[in-house]
Amino acid sequence: MAVKRLEVYVDSYRSKPFIMDFDDKIELTPRDEALIEDWIGMCAGRDIEIERNIRVEDVSHHFLESVESAIHSTCVRISLVDC
């Protein structure tokens, strides 16, 4: 069975990503959303709200397969906006 992975990048795919792995499909719980929001806030150096301060710039999907496992990755590049 393949692992589903969510990778969130701030401003550039060269930045260090926030990574979450899921056994089945990617379904974010309120706790997951809070973790992502806190991580983005640490990167930004300020408190942020996902609904108000985040713009999705790009989404890409990747599939990596090895003899031992397979990973379906959804990569999201975001930027911070001021409201």
pLDDT tens column, 5-48 = 999 999 999 999 999 999 888 888 899 989 999 999 998 888 88
Q: Tell me, rounded to whole angstroms, the distance of Cα 71 from its chain centroid.
A: 15
The reported pLDDT for the residue numbered 15 is: 92
- Asked if residues 54 and 40 have their Cβ atoms less than 8 Å apart, the reply is yes
Task: Kindly indicate the confidence band of residue 83, based on its pLDDT and cuts at 50, 70 and 90.
Answer: low
Judged on CB neighbours under 10 Å (0-12, 13-18, 19+), 78 is: buried
Residue 48's CB is within 10 A of a number of other CB atoms, namely 20
The reported pLDDT for the residue numbered 82 is: 82
Report pTM. Answer: 0.84
The reported pLDDT for the residue numbered 38 is: 93
Q: In angstroms, rounded to a whole number, what is the distance separating the alpha carbons of residues 24 and 54?
A: 26
